[in-house]
Amino acid sequence: MNQGEWLKQQVLRWGIKLTEKQLEQFGEYYRLLVETNKVMNLTAITEPHEVYVKHFFDSLTVAKILPIKQIHSLIDVGTGAGFPGLPLKIAFPHLRVVLLDSLKKRIGFLEDVVSALGLEKIECVHGRAEEFARQTGYRQSFDLATARAVAKLNVLAEYCLPFVRVGGFFVAMKGPSVAEEVRESRQALHILGKASHEIISFELPEEMGTRHLLLMKKRDHSPKAYPRRSGIPAKQPIV
pLDDT tens for 76-117 read 999 999 999 999 999 999 999 999 999 999 999 999 999 999
- CA dist 50 and 168 (Å) reads 31
Work out the pLDDT band at 38, boundaries 50, 70, 90: very high
Please confirm whether the linkage preceding 227 is cis (ω < 30° from 0): yes
- CA dist 19 and 212 (Å) reads 28
Average pLDDT over residues 184-203: 95
- CA 98 remoteness from chain centre: 10
Q: Report whether pLDDT(214) > 80.
A: yes
Residue type present at position 111: E
Above pLDDT 70, what percent of the chain? 100
Q: Are 33 and 56 in contact (CB under 8 A)?
A: no
Q: Report whether pLDDT(209) > 90.
A: no
| Arithmetic mean of pLDDT over the chain | 96
Work out the pLDDT band at 43, boundaries 50, 70, 90: very high
Q: Which residues contact 82 (CB under 8 A, 6 or more apart)?
A: 29, 76, 99, 110, 113
Q: Exposure of 175 by Cβ count < 10 A (0-12 exposed, 13-18 middle, 19+ buried)?
A: exposed
Q: What is the pLDDT of residue 219?
A: 98
SS3 sequence, the chain? CCHHHHHHHHHHCCCCCCCHHHHHHHHHHHHHHHHHHCCCCCCCCCCHHHHHHHHHHHHHHHHHCCCHHHCCEEEEECCCCCCCHHHHHHHCCCCEEEEEECCHHHHHHHHHHHHHHCCCCEEEEECCHHHHCCCCCCCCCEEEEEECCCCCHHHHHHHHHHHEEEEEEEEEEECCCHHHHHHHHHHHHHHCCCCEEEEEEEECHHHCCEEEEEEEECCCCCCCCCCCCCCHHHHCCCC
